[in-house]
Copies of this chain bind each other. A is one copy, B any other.
Amino acid sequence: MTLGDEIGKSKPFETPEQEAYLNLLRTASVLSEGFARLFAAHGLSETAYNALRILRGAGEGGRMCQEIGGQLVARVPDVTRLVDRLEREGLVSRRRGERDRRAVYVVITARGLEALAALDEPVMHLHRAQLGHMGGEDLAALIGLLERARRGNAAPAGGAAGEARTGAGAGT
């Protein structure tokens, strides 16, 4: 089913770029809704799940809020309150940095690890249910094209782009 049929557009698209963009958003929305439902059934949002995944990868050392923000697939401008919620539910714990007392290291708790573990299997299953019908070749092609698509945005050409971002820029 083409996107034109799906959203009932008669004069489908003006340019291939627009068609690609709208297809991208639509696909992301459709797939992401499936995960949102899955996570919601476990009391988590997609962002929360994502953050927990990052923290599981970080191990006992944890990660600074800033780093969490940078690693999330979708930009989140308020990591503090995201961590607040996770902490309130006992899934993570905060630890003030010792060397740098401004920093706050967020560490996943045993309960957080359990929550993730309970999701590992269903998540993998859903990934396969959603995209398993595509061959490995098509998946590889899709991945390559998506990476290529992002490249145009590396250096925002316009005027009002690429500024502050909550004091980040953290740099290599």
Chain A residues at the B interface, C-beta cutoff of 8 Å: 1-3, 7-11, 14-34, 37, 41, 57, 67, 70-75, 124, 126-134, 136, 138-143, 145-154, 156-158, 160-161
Contacts and interface: CB of A to CB of B under 8 A. Distances in A.
Given A23-B142, A31-B153, A34-B156, 5 more contacts: A19-B143, A34-B161, A41-B160, A134-B148, A145-B145
B73 A26 contact: yes
A27 to B, nearest CB: 5
B149 A27 contact: yes
Count of identical protomers in the assembly: 2
B131 A149 contact: yes
A73 B26 CA distance: 5
Contact of A131 (B20, B74, B160): B20
